Amino acid sequence: MAMTSKQRAYLKSLASKISPILQVGKASLTPELITAVDEALEKRELIKLSVLKNCFDDPRELAETIADRSHAQVVHVIGKKIVLYRPAKKAPKIELPRP
């Protein structure tokens, strides 16, 4: 399901208040990172990741790959910060505005 610009803007406003909870480092994408992202998305639904300076991969490509592997949606990539969203399977907390 594609997100509307209104829904994306709403999620961006929520994400501006949270700090990055995961970091992508020199090892780039590892199975452990994907597992951690998956678990964090299930608990929080909206997460922010930080790409460290020693990771030479493009943050936009990383965001797409992580989102694809964790079945999430990329909300926003700005600089070296990535914001991902996926509604929780049990009891979703974030209610998106109607399209």
Q: What is the CATH number of the domain that holds 66?
A: 3.30.110.60
pTM of the predicted structure, to 2 decimals: 0.93
3-state SS assignment for residue 70: helix
Q: pLDDT (tens digit, 9 = 90+) per residue, 52-84?
A: 999 999 999 999 999 999 999 999 999 999 999
Nearest-Å Rg of the Cα atoms of the chain is 13
Helix axes 31-44, 59-70, angle to 10 degrees: 70
Q: Is residue 69 included in any domain, yes or no?
A: yes
Residue 79 resides in a domain: yes
State the Cα–Cα distance between residues 54 and 62, nearest whole angstrom. 14
pLDDT classification of 1: cutoffs 50, 70, 90: low
Q: For all residues of the chain together, what is the average pLDDT?
A: 93
Residue 53 lies in a domain: yes
As a whole-number percent, the residues of the chain with pLDDT over 90 amount to 81
Domain count across the chain: 1
Does residue 42 register a pLDDT over 80?
A: yes
Confidence category of residue 99, pLDDT binned at 50, 70, 90: confident
The answer to whether residue 61 sits within a structural domain is yes
Phi and psi torsions of 7, nearest 5°: -65, -40
Residues in the chain: 99
Assigned token pair, 41: 């998305």
Residue 69 belongs to domain spanning: 5-85
DSSP state of 16: T
- Within a domain: 76: yes
Rounded Cα distance between 20 and 43, Å, is: 15
Q: Which residues contact 80 (CB under 8 A, 6 or more apart)?
A: 50, 51, 52, 53, 59
Query: Would 17 be classed as within a structural domain?
Result: yes
**96 assigned to some structural domain:** no
Residue 94: inside a domain, yes or no? no
